[in-house]
A and B are shown apart, each in its own frame.
Chain A
Amino acid sequence: MPVMTYIDAINTALDEEMTRDEQVFIIGEDVGKMGGVFKATKGLQEKFGVDRVIDSPLAEGVIVSSSIGAAMAGMRPVAEIQFADFITPAMDAITQQAAKLRYRSAGTQTCPLTVRVCYGGGVGGGLYHSQTNTSWFIHTPGLVVVAPSTAYDAKGLLKSAIRDDNPVMFFEHKKLYRSVKEEVPDEDFTVPLMKAEVKKSGSDLTVISYGYTLQLSLQAAEKMKQQHGVDVEVVDLRTLVPLDKDTFLESVARTNRVVIVHEDNRTLGIGAEISAVIAEQAFDCLDAPITRVTAPDVPAVPFSAPLEHFYMPSVEKIVAAMERTIRY
């Protein structure tokens, strides 16, 4: 089984899906000859031609909205948004068109679209190349929002997203692109959407996260074991909407303590929703207050290293939160 980086896994998934189904095509800025700024689409234009890997005009609105039209006509477009920060010109297309299409047509018009969005901080990208804005989309029913944390999931979930009949926002954390590597089958497999996964089982505390901070949570869980002998269970949401509540509620029912970690801003981030779900549906299971480790409510990820470090969730911050929760 080949060892792949997260970005290789994405490239392989795109390649396999385009080979499997000729309705699949790619559109985005610099996705063609250049192969994308992060090389996610490297070599695909060479292989599939300029009509199936389309270098779009510099206009995110038209990237997504033309993809919606093509999806309505039965194609399977994969649109790329180079940086999550640049997605605002496409917001109308995503929230008013893609998300509502099935609903407003009572299922007679559908939008099997995948929008790949590169997001996340911790790379010195500054104010407009670092944002985690998943909450903008998790607040929009009609969209499926996916954010894998491993190379295996990146490949399997992207393939599922392309085959899914709903509009899927597929968030790829840029810090994961080359920092995680694992064995990924070089053959066709999928990972189901709308299913969270227990990435590490444990009995004393549940940590719930996704994306890059899931990797930090795994490291924090390891430290808790080594330093305190505390056995932490790590739940990877994988799909943020619709949320697989059962998996994390069952986990909380077993461990009775929960820490939620995300890189999105704190207010109305997904941690707020998860906290509310636990409070409503599993209140009796809690032995300690729910704790969140999140980015602060500031309008952007600052550039200067100490500022960015303060902004980002870290292993230390997660460990500190876990210690507080255990000691309560």
Chain B
Amino acid sequence: MATQVERITTFPNFAGDSAFAIGEYEQKSLPLAVETLQRLYSYMLKCRTVEERIRILFRQGRFAGNYFAAVGQEATQVGVTMDLLPEDTIAPSHRNFITHIMKGTPLPQLLAQIYGRKTSPDQGRSAPAHCGYAPLNIITPASTIAAQLNIGTGIALAYKMRQQRNVVVALSGEGSTSLGFWHEAVNFAGLHKLPMVIVVENNGWAESVPVTLQTAVTDISEKAKAYGIPGVTVDGNDVVEVYQAARTAITRAREGQGPTLLECKTYRWYGHSEIDPAKYREPREVQEWKGRDPIPRMERFLEEQGIWTNDWKQNLLKEFEAEIEQAIAFAEASPFPEPEEALDHVYSFDIRERELAPKTWEPKLGR
């Protein structure tokens, strides 16, 4: 049974904000199957459950380092990544850990990443914020903001040169659009009509600096005009709207029509990271945005369509929690890497011997 587009256009806008406009590229005739709606919902729920659990693990001191939760932004990240093929690339930022769940990186390995264990995708080298997964084309994000967009343009260039029908979805926050890197990448992508979707997760805050101190434009998507590509702003807490806009952009990219700048207006519930109590924000603002929580919004919508029940949700949660517990158990039982492994994978050849046991020389001539 397919859910027809009328239902989508009646998707309730709990934000009560008419400023969000879907761009001209939305195809109103796009049907969403019940199954698609259910998947969008269940992935949001799973991502939320995983991240809230990781936050607890951090506060329990069960892993070192830090974590950059995307709680509150699930509709954006789930919506833009759900339609990707295994061969497509995600170029994530530090707050896109949950895109791994979307692409299919095994959860036990992801938890091992958090714990710095040898069984993780990069054998304990990087923090969760820098985790990539080569088998599914998730590039390792660096913390230099917006740099992943530039790397993404190169992958998209390779797709184009090889006439591969694949796309690159690059994600970054609104703060990234203040960097030269960001503009170089969007310019280059537009110039070469690269198969990319450039997603700006506008959550209002670049660490402690509000978007109003980053840029004079109201909608980041306006910046697309400067690079000759379409710019679209959507309600980033409305998963159906995000999904539809992303699907249009992905289709355009796959068909060789070039990149789209997709701005999703959303909000992060917590601080920049787990060590940031985010006291720079007004509690009222946080409460308002929590009222626009994408998950209950979707629940109400699905319930109206007769395809959501609390029992179903509880069953999903039970399933996710069991999966997470198993992943945590796997991670905690996994070994740490051996210390000397810090010398591995610097080059395509081994440097251990020359680093650990340098030779010494004696004079050869008579002195």
A residues adjacent to B (C-beta < 8 A): 25, 51, 56-57, 59, 61-62, 65-75, 77, 89, 92-93, 96-97, 100-110, 141-142, 144, 164-166, 203, 242, 245-246, 249-250, 252-256, 280-282, 284-285, 287
* A201 CB, nearest partner CB in chain B, Å: 14
Of A73, A75, A96, A256, the contact of B365 (CB 8 Å cutoff): A256
Is A103's CB under 8 angstroms from B345's CB? yes
A242 x B347 contact (CB < 8 A): yes
Please indicate which of the listed interface residues A65, A69, A109 has the most CB atoms of chain B within 10 Å of its own CB: A69
Minimal beta-carbon separation of B104 from chain A (angstroms): 15
Residues of B within 8 A of A281 (CB): 358-361
Chain A residues contacting B150 (CB-CB under 8 Å) are 61-62, 65-66, 68-69, 93
A165 to B89, CA, bound (A): 21
The listed residue (A70, A89, A107, A142) touching B155 by CB distance below 8 A is: A70
B44 within 8 A of A: no
Q: Which residues of A contact B152 (CB under 8 A)?
A: 69
Of B121, B155, B156, most buried by chain A (CB within 10 Å of CB) is B155
Asked whether, in the complex, the Cβ of B154 is within 8 Å of the Cβ of A66, the reply is: yes
Q: Are B125's CB and A61's CB within 8 A?
A: no
Among B155, B187, B361, point to the contact of A249 (Cβ < 8 A). Answer: B361
Residue of A nearest to B342 (CB): A103
Is B144 engaged at the interface, CB distance under 8 Å to the other chain?
yes
**Chain-A contact segment, one of B1-9, B35-43, B134-142, B244-252:** B134-142
For residue A72, which residues in chain B have a CB less than 8 angstroms away from its CB?
139, 151, 154-155
**Main SS at interface, chain A:** helix
Q: Separation in Å of the B265 CB from the closest CB of chain A? A: 27
Cβ contact within 8 Å between A109 and B147: no
List B contacts of A109 (CB < 8 A).
132, 134, 139-140
B193 within 8 A of A: no
A59's contact among B125, B126, B184, B365, by CB below 8 Å, is which? B184
7 more A-B residue pairs beyond the given contacts A69-B156, A70-B157, with a C-beta to C-beta distance below 8 A: A57-B187, A59-B184, A69-B151, A69-B157, A105-B134, A255-B365, A256-B367
Query: What 0/1 pattern do residues 160 to 201 of B give for CB contact below 8 A with A?
Result: 010000000000000000001100110110010000000000
Query: Within 8 Å of chain A (Cβ to Cβ): is B63?
Result: no
Is the beta-carbon distance between A166 and B151 smaller than 8 angstroms? no
Query: A108–B154 contact, CB under 8 A?
Result: no
Kindly state whether residue B238 has any CB partner on chain A within 8 Å: no
What is the CB-to-nearest-CB distance from B244 to chain A, in angstroms, rounded to a whole number?
Answer: 28
Query: Can you pick out 16 interface pairs between chain A and chain B where the beta carbons lie within 8 Å of each other?
Result: A57-B188, A62-B153, A65-B154, A66-B157, A71-B154, A73-B155, A73-B159, A75-B158, A92-B147, A97-B147, A103-B346, A164-B348, A249-B361, A254-B364, A282-B360, A284-B361
Q: Are A92 and B181 in contact (CB under 8 A)?
A: yes
> Residues of B contacting A102 with CB < 8 Å?
345-348
Where the two chains meet, the residues of B that have a C-beta atom closer than 8 Å to any C-beta of A are 89, 121-123, 125-126, 130, 132, 134-135, 139-140, 142, 144, 147, 150-159, 161, 180-181, 184-185, 187-188, 191, 344-348, 351, 354, 358-365, 367
B134 / chain A contacts, CB cutoff of 8 Å: 105, 108-109
Q: Which residues of B contact A254 (CB under 8 A)?
A: 364-365
- 10 closest A-B pairs (Cβ-Cβ)? A69-B154, A65-B150, A73-B158, A108-B134, A282-B361, A66-B154, A106-B123, A62-B184, A165-B348, A69-B155
- Chain A residues positioned under 8 Å from B147 (CB to CB): 65, 92-93, 96-97
Shortest beta-carbon distance from A245 to chain B in Å: 8
A105 touches B360 (CB 8 A): no
CB-nearest residue of chain B relative to A164?
Answer: B348
Tell whether, in the assembled complex, residue B161 and residue A25 are in contact, meaning their CB atoms are under 8 Å apart.
yes
How many angstroms between the C-alpha atoms of A68 and B346 in the bound complex? 16
In the complex, which of the residues B121, B154, B180 contacts A106, with contact meaning CB atoms closer than 8 Å? B121
Q: Inside 8 A of A101's CB, which chain B residues have their CB?
A: 140
Contacts of B359 in A (CB 8 A): 246, 249, 281
**In the docked arrangement, what's the CA distance between A96 and B151, Å?**
12
Say which residue of A92, A104, A242, A285 sits within 8 Å of B351 (CB atoms): A242
Q: Is the CB of B361 within 8 A of A66?
A: no
Known interface pairs A68-B151, A142-B347, A284-B363; A105-B144 also in contact (CB < 8 Å): no
Residues of chain A lying within 8 A (CB to CB) of residue B156: 69
Q: Which residue of B lies closest to A67 (CB)?
A: B154
B180 x A89 contact (CB < 8 A): yes
